[in-house]
Amino acid sequence: MKMKSFLRACVLGCALGTFGVAPVHAETLRVVSGSASTPLNVPMNRAVVVESDQPFSELSIANPGIADVTTLSDKTIYVLGKLPGRTTMTILGADGTLLSNVEVQVTPDIGEFKERLKQILPGENIEVRTANDGIVLSGTVSSTARLDRALDLAKRYAGERVSNLMTVGGTQQVMLKVRFAEMQRSVSKNLASSLAMRGTVGSGKGATGVASGTGNYSASGAVDGVFDSGTIPVSGSSGNLNLGFTVGNMEFGVLLEALESKGMVRTLAEPNLTALSGQQAKFLAGGEYPIPVVDDGTVSIKYKPFGVEMTFTPRVVDGNLINLEIAAAVSAIDTTVTMSSGGFSVNAFKRRETSTTVEMRDGESFAIAGLLQDDFNDLNSQIPWLGDVPVLGALFRSTEFERKQSELVIIVTPHLVTPTRGEALALPTDRVRLPTESELFLLGKTSAKPVSGAAGEVARQDFSGSYGYVME
């Protein structure tokens, strides 16, 4: 009896050495002749021992590439899984009768995969199953980043034969709040002068004139305006001063032009847009400008959008960490630049845009773009030699100075949001109700009393400061 056990151990050791498999605890399946056999599940690169209730004389496997078999005794079979798949093992008795057909299914080894999954992603509710020759993952994970990690790990064991039935829990909708703020300041100063003189000799009149400056007004205009009227006109709106005087037989006319202008422009836009994680959303508040396009004598119209534009794709990476791929732009029609062709006149566009990818948490803000532009130019023109004379040379010079400053900042703030009931949301139109004819014509009211409810309570508030459509 001891010798028989020793021989079995030797045969088993030879079989393990032949297939090059590390020793494992093999499962055992009992096959009873004359009854339907239970399907045999064999993990890949692992072994299962099959025991028959009767001695067999012949053993065969339909596809040796999927599983390999060897006999340990006349009643014991050693089955080793090689590749994922399904095949059939046939067992024949001593007289050639069929003892049993055993269905052998080799599946990926999910036991080790489950252990690694718990080590790498602890606390995640992920269920692992086998289907045919692949792995099926189901359950709920906390973020898309953890879902990607689980899929990457599953591909290490089953390659591309991985089915993903997992869902991502938590909030997966992102509202992006973008603030465009731009300030433009400009200062220009202009100082110019012109001088003319006229003299009489005897009974006739002769005129000699000397003019200086390159302003918008000529010396002859100064002389005519002063000499003909005999007065001293002053034009404050355009910064002009005409002065005339007489010295002996000589008459002098002086034109002084001094102009200073200042301006400031403030531009502010705050578009808000909500999108699902991983999906692109677009926003445009503005209009479309028609541009004629001539092709082989045929004129067609192409529309170019302008205004506040925004396109962004949010991705909730992990918890409240949000990855944002955003493109934002502010454009307007520039009437100072015009192109004319074929009887059509088209204006240019002023456009400020940015495109970037940032990562931040819920409620945090990022200044994704900033521009500080400072343009300065001055011009000094004069009559040669006369403009270099001290003090009096100012009458023969024209000086211009101009400076423009522009500052632009774009700030983005993402928020994780969830839907709410429609009654909890207020619209700008809820605060105003159209007046009746008597209220409009007799009382002169452009709006009636607000309706009752939440919208009415909001409408009765004192909006003495800045207010509008606000979402926090």
Could you report the per-residue pLDDT of 269-288, keeping only the tens digit for each? 888 899 998 899 999 988 89
Per-residue pLDDT at 460: 56
The phi, psi pair for 63, rounded to 5°, reads: -130, 95
Per-residue pLDDT at 143: 78
List, for residues 142-186, the tens digit of each pLDDT value: 777 888 889 999 888 888 888 998 888 777 889 999 988 888 888
Higher pLDDT, 176 or 425: 176
- Would residue 315 count as lying in a domain? no
Q: What is the DSSP code string of 229-250? A: H-S--EETTTTEEEEEEEETTE
Least confident of 16-25, 119-128, 372-381: 16-25
Measured CA to CA, the distance from residue 455 to residue 472 in angstroms comes to: 18
Per-residue pLDDT at 472: 45
- Considering the domain architecture, whether residues 126 and 69 belong to the same structural domain is answered as no
**308, 286 contact by CB (below 8 A):** yes
The pTM for the full model equals 0.56
If pLDDT is split at 50, 70 and 90, which confidence band does 387 have?
confident
Measured CA to CA, the distance from residue 397 to residue 293 in angstroms comes to: 48
If pLDDT is split at 50, 70 and 90, which confidence band does 14 have?
very low
- Considering the domain architecture, whether residues 80 and 66 belong to the same structural domain is answered as yes
Average pLDDT (6-29) is: 44
If pLDDT is split at 50, 70 and 90, which confidence band does 358 have?
very high
Measured CA to CA, the distance from residue 167 to residue 162 in angstroms comes to: 15
The phi, psi pair for 430, rounded to 5°, reads: -70, -15
Residue with tokens 């980043």: 145
Average pLDDT (370-377) is: 86
- Would residue 458 count as lying in a domain? yes
Six-digit token string for 111: 């036991």
- Considering the domain architecture, whether residues 56 and 82 belong to the same structural domain is answered as yes
Of these ranges, 108-112, 174-178, 188-192, 257-261, the one predicted with the greatest mean pLDDT is 174-178
CATH classification of the domain holding 47 = 2.60.40.1080
Residue with tokens 């200086």: 212
List, for residues 60-78, the tens digit of each pLDDT value: 899 999 999 998 888 888 9
Crossing angle, helix 110-120 and helix 144-158, to 10 degrees?
A: 150
List, for residues 182-194, the tens digit of each pLDDT value: 888 888 888 777 7
Into how many domains does the chain fold? 3
Query: Which residue range(s) make up the domain with 148?
Result: 110-168
**185, 404 contact by CB (below 8 A):** yes
- Considering the domain architecture, whether residues 46 and 101 belong to the same structural domain is answered as yes
